[in-house]
Amino acid sequence: MITFETSEMIDQVRAMLHGMVKNIVRPIARYYDDHEHERPKELEAFKPIMQAGMGGGKRSKKEKREIKQTEDRIGSNAIGVVGAEELSWGDVGLMLAMPGGGLGNAAVNAVATDEQYERFGMKYCAMAITEPGCGSDASAVSATAVLDGDEYVINGEKIFVTDGDRCEAVVVWATLDKSQGRAAIKSFVVEKGTPGFRVEKLEKKCGIRASDTATMVFEDCRIPRTNLLGDPEIKAEGGFKGVMQTFDNTRPLVAAMAVGCARAAYEFTREALAKEGITIRYDRPCLEQTAVERDLIWMEAQLEVMWLLVERAAWMADNGRPNNLEASIAKAKCGKYGNIIVQKCVEILGPIGYSREYLLEKWMRDNKVNDIYEGTQQIQMLVVARRILDYGRDMLS
């Protein structure tokens, strides 16, 4: 059964990361917000940690069978969400810019064979899904991958690729056959330097400016057929689920990022108010508390709920249980309420919250993206409704 007690290992990971984030990440957050696209050299200290996390993220097929018989396993997902929260408490943009591991690594962990993991598991992988004509509906991917002998030839354009410039490889979603719909969509690993693959431009953004966001172009880009992740067969039933399983791993991470950023805003606001003698009187009934006190208590409650949802989704993944519904619930709740909390903090502190002298206004800009990428708020609500009501794609839109 899931427990609300944290393990000693999790506590140690959190404490170690918190100290590093406080001393390394927070002090440089404003600089890299002002110097978009400059590579944060200070983050090299985190590379061994990120790679260690990736090394624990993949299990062999035998291990996956055995894990279904275990209980209360603390695995890479539980550790990953703690890491994402703490790093985002420091800075969401810099968290995304951490060297050694990107969103594409979650795809490798989810569907790669053991042999593929040996080749790609320790590479810094971005993930390319979105296209100029394909956003929230991932099944509408139009980039193509055509088998030619022992190679796939990829053509298409991808936009809004997180860490697209700094990564070592990118996991590209492309279709094997447009006429067969979503079942023909597969994910392919394309390494940097492959002929026919180029980074076209970098976006200038409202938030997460320390992280690069790229447009990628693939023109007759040839890769080995063994770079197709997982099963190359097109299956009319369930063929798309393997690709979509990536989101079951990444959505709890994004939800944890929203928690970390919102917690940073809440703690800053509470500390700023305490300096002015404004504290929460927990021993007073609600009607005797001030509006600010009630707002702070409400934020505390929301942060607790958000984190429990994240923990549940991660625990289920670590213990071999399908977590598609729980991952989307966590992403929907944390994405939305993380933004509400940060905005409320800005409102409470007024000029202090809006001033660039402090990081609070930056956290408001940064946290917005956690409600957008990896599936927007509206997409998450559709996923949740479909799972609860047991509706198919054509029954609820």
Domain boundary assignment for the chain = 8-120, 125-227, 241-395
Helix (H) or strand (E) holding 18: helix 8-20
Is domain 241-395 annotated with CATH 3.40.50.970?
no
Instruction: Quote the pLDDT of residue 55.
Output: 47
Q: Which residues on neighbouring strands pair with residue 127, listed in sequence order?
A: 171
Burial class (CB in 10 A: 0-12, 13-18, 19+), 397: exposed
pLDDT digits 0-9 by tens, 244-278 = 778 888 999 999 999 999 999 999 999 999 999 99
Instruction: Quote the pLDDT of residue 136.
Output: 76
Q: Strand 151-162 relative to strand 213-224: parallel, antiparallel, unpaired?
A: antiparallel
| Residue 131 appears among annotated catalytic residues | no
Q: Catalytic one among 85, 86, 361, 374?
A: 374
Secondary structure tally for the chain: helices H, strands E: 14, 7
* Cα separation, 133 vs 234, whole angstroms: 23
Instruction: Quote the pLDDT of residue 150.
Output: 96
Domain spanning 8-120, CATH class: mainly alpha
CA angle in degrees (0–180, nearest 5) for 356-95-139 = 110
Task: Compute mean pLDDT per 10 residues along the chain, 397 residues long, and list them.
Answer: 73 92 96 95 84 55 50 80 95 92 86 90 92 83 96 97 94 93 92 97 96 97 95 74 77 96 98 95 92 96 97 91 94 97 97 96 96 91 90 69
* Cα separation, 59 vs 109, whole angstroms: 8
Instruction: Quote the pLDDT of residue 372.
Output: 92
- If you compute the radius of gyration of the chain from its CA atoms, what whole number of angstroms results? 21
Domain spanning 125-227, CATH class: mainly beta
State the pTM of this model.
0.90
Alpha carbon 363 to its chain centroid, in Å, reads 16
Instruction: Quote the pLDDT of residue 49.
Output: 77
Contact (Cβ atoms closer than 8 angstroms) between residue 143 and residue 154: yes
* Cα separation, 187 vs 189, whole angstroms: 7
Contact (Cβ atoms closer than 8 angstroms) between residue 252 and residue 308: no
Instruction: Quote the pLDDT of residue 241.
Output: 66
Alpha helices (H) in 56-197, listed in sequence order: 61-67, 76-90, 92-96, 103-111, 114-120
